[in-house]
Structure 1
Amino acid sequence: MAEDWQHGFYRRSLIDRQVRLVQGRQLDPATLKQLQANMTMQHNLVIENYITDYRLPEGVALGLVVNGKNYTVPMATEEPSVIAAASNGAKRVAQSGGFFAEAKERYLVGQVVLTDVENPERVTTDLLMHQDELLQVANGAHPSMKKRGGGAKHLRIRQVGDFISVDLLIDVQQAMGANTVNTMVEAVAQNLRQSGYHVLTAILSNLADQSLVAVTCRVNFTALATPQFDGASVAEKIAKLSELAQVDPYRAATHNKGIMNGIDAAVLASGNDWRAIESGAHAYAAKDGHYKGLATWHLDGEQLVGQLTLPMPVGVVGGSIKLTPQSKVNYQISGIQTAQELARVIVSLGLAQNLAALRALATAGIQAGHMRLQYRSLAMSVGATTAEVEILVDQLQQHAHVDATLAREILREMRSQHGTN
């Protein structure tokens, strides 16, 4: 049962909601000013029960060359080393010519799922006979998309278990398109109900396998070398790690998480729905019946060849895109103009991220590159000031075992020596 301070919470003004959190002892009064300092009145109209903005650090990946164009890509992430790794991978690929990306036809898939189907073959035949009519119904629900050259283009029928899925393939032009698709499939669902069909659901699918982007790159062995490892041996080990991710789902999950480190950060900074992209990517990773690595690497002469194909149904207008001042600025930074261009850049960034992670695994190990950035986060978490962070990090790197207790102890000693306790 809701406590008194919770009753009617969503109907209250923004300031009253914040005050009620104090009244309900969910929030210390001294912290109220922090909520108010970070709130944005515009965002009070965006989500329910809004109280403040939750901010993430944003940086840029540099030197990402895609189809001959050099991009600066905004990325929003709290995880140390992600942006550094993306830039590192991008630099090594750029030395060998950059990424080559192809965005194929871009359709979103909307499903109208039928249940209690007694004769699937007859129903399938009947639906296909009326596919033009059903496409007209879908486009009639969103005529502006049709006028712009988009809209429902194709219909396919799939029998899945005891269900029949009526799939609409919809061109949403430059938009993210989720609301458009849902509007169209709901109109088709209503039409089918009136025709006597039992409709279970009508909704967009986030497995956007009709919005694929294919990226390839070739990396010279010399671009992979370190002072301790020659480029050929690094490339060979990367290829072996790639092979492992194709056969072991435990390794594949981490392999793909590394790819999504970069993709999620870029999608979030672009104002698109990173959750939809994430779910679609992992579903696509299991498209052959078992979960495997999304990116692959193999040797070709004295080059390492990388490949990554992903569903990438992003847009540059509509939804939450350019809703905030920062997302508008991000498009100025990247110079990206179209949904297809954005998709090509994001998938290329994911392959750059994967290269950097595999190169780290193939050489000094993943922790070596992470530790200084991780120690910065640890230093800030124990209360180090901006001026103290780098000094504390230098001292932490001299220890074999580092934790918060050690960081606090060193920080106390530093302050004692400088008389700042």
Structure 2
Amino acid sequence: MSKLVSGFSKLSKTEKINWLITNHLPNQDAAEKILKQYWNSDQKLQQLHDEFIENTVTNYYLPLGVAPNFVINDKIYTIPMTTEESSVVAAASKAAKYWQTRGGFKTTVLSTIKIGQVHFTYSGSFKALEDYFNLVKPQLIEDAKPITKNMDKRGGGILNIELKNKTNDLEHYYQLHATFETLDAMGANFINSCLEQFAKTFKAEAEKVLPQPVNVIMSILSNYVPECIVRAEVSCKVEDLAEKDIDPNAFAEKFIQAVNIAEIEPYRAVTHNKGIMNGIDAVVLATGNDFRAVEAGVHAYAAKDGTYSSLTHAKIDNGIFTFWMEVPLALGTVGGLTNLHPLVKLALEILDKPNAKQLMQIVAVAGLAQNFAALRSLTTTGIQEGHMKMHLMNILNQFEATAEEKIKIVHHFKTNVVTHSAVVNAIENLRH
């Protein structure tokens, strides 16, 4: 049972670990060994990791892999991906190889606008509030200039501020709805600093003009960015989809039906989009961006029309098969972990040091590729054949298979269906 502790954050890392082991981990020697074996031997590097978050006790490793052969707008990329799921990198690589001989991936950034809001209540008349807002709006922008100065010089900054009346949804509730261009920064700290300054000015000036007080509830950016959109697509003649044992017309029609099902059936759409996020999250994480913010924004976008639906779409038009996706991605290539984490720096170098717009395009392609690979498997051989073969090594490692055992069992499953029970039986038969 967990115990309450006072002043835990003030303890040294060793003291934190000792407390954790004493109170939560019965096998103390083994637990301490596991925690410390993941420490970096370079003390300076370990200190950097320790200071990313509070109460660090060790490092949690995830594999960083690469998916080569991506042709995006006629440029070749090797995409770094951080994930623990067995088949993600393999699937992305397979899709990249498939499309490199069929024209590659085409991408376009449609818009890069980001949003923040000051949420407040006001009990007076809307007309008085609206007149006041029109009066104070230039001062809101002026008072934020010390914050926006550098961003303005680079061509970004505050795009607009609107007053939104939300009283039909919640009594006395209004917003200052602001839009921003943050260029190569994801911009969360920039936007939040601007919003807090807006709120300060808006409230202070209101006291001089309005008969009722403005009550600021909170000032915060939105991770829903429906105007920060990138499009990724692949297309080719239907006959160019031909492969061994696969009729191109039948494949294209079945593929499109699979997408159509995800467009109208939320139970399927969630799993369908989760597969897209397998690719997107892996690149977002590898490049030091906020995958939780991206996830939240993408799934909200998938429900923007009132029903949760597929992010990808497919069609045949005049004999041309096209598969595409438009997705919101607020990403950065400067600031945050991009300047701190050595592997993030390396990942961005692998991608030839992209700017934020270029990274948006690369990430979208990873998601589209992942979805194509999944749908291709689902509509042909089935998803488990490829996935379970990738998962085979995880099962063998659970049973602490030796190198010799792994070679024999991998060979066995080249011609046999991989299931957990089949692998267990193969191990037991080999050992007996």
TM over 0.5: yes
User: Match for residue 215 of structure 1?
Assistant: 232
AA of the residue aligned to 2:34 = Q
- What residue number does 2:354 align with? 337
Which of these residues, 89, 97, 101, is aligned with residue 103 of structure 2?
A: 97
With normalisation by structure 2, the TM-score equals 0.89
> Which of 51, 58, 61 in structure 2 is aligned with 1:55?
61
Which of 141, 157, 180 pairs up with 1:170?
A: 180
Deviations 1:171-227 (CA, angstroms, capped at 9, x unpaired): 212112111111111111112222132222110100012211122221343453443
1:410 matches 2:416: no
Aligned pair partner of 1:326 in 328, 336, 343: 343
Counterparts of residues 16-415 of structure 1 (less than 5 Å): 16-26=15-25, 28-39=28-39, 40-160=46-166, 161-162=169-170, 163-194=173-204, 195=206, 196-395=213-412, 402-403=419-420, 407-415=423-431
Q: How far is the alpha carbon of 1:340 from its aligned partner?
A: 0.7
Distance 2:385 2:131 in 1: 60
Contact 2:156 2:182 in 1 (8 A): yes
* Contact 1:224-1:359 within 8 A present in 2 as well: no
Q: Which runs of 5+ in 1 are unaligned?
A: 417-421
Greater CA deviation, 334-343 or 158-167? Answer: 158-167
- Bigger drift between 19-28 and 47-56 goes to 19-28
Distance 2:130 2:71 in 1: 46
Q: What CA distance in whole angstroms lies between the structure 1 residues aligned with 2:359 and 2:404?
A: 38
After the TM superposition, which of the residue ranges 227-236 and 291-300 deviates more from structure 2?
227-236
Q: Secondary structure at the match of 1:24?
A: helix
Tell me whether 279-288 or 219-228 shows the greater mean CA deviation: 219-228
* Deviation larger for 47-56 or 29-38: 29-38
Letter in 1 for 2:430: M
Aligned residues of 2:122 and 2:174 also touching (Cα < 8 A):
no
Secondary structure of 2:309's aligned partner:
coil
Specify the code of the residue in structure 2 equivalent to 1:181.
I
Normalised by the length of structure 1, the TM-score is 0.91
How many pairs are equivalent? 414
Counterpart residue type for residue 185 of structure 2? A
**Contact kept in structure 1, 2:232 and 2:365, CA below 8 Å:** yes
Query: Given that residues 258 and 354 in structure 1 are in contact (C-alpha distance below 8 angstroms), is that contact kept between their aligned partners in structure 2?
Result: yes
RMSD (Å), alpha carbons = 2.2
State how far apart, in whole Å, the 2-side matches of 1:286 and 1:122 are: 35
- The verdict on how the C-alpha distance between 1:129 and 1:100 changes in structure 2, with shifts beyond 3 A counting, is farther
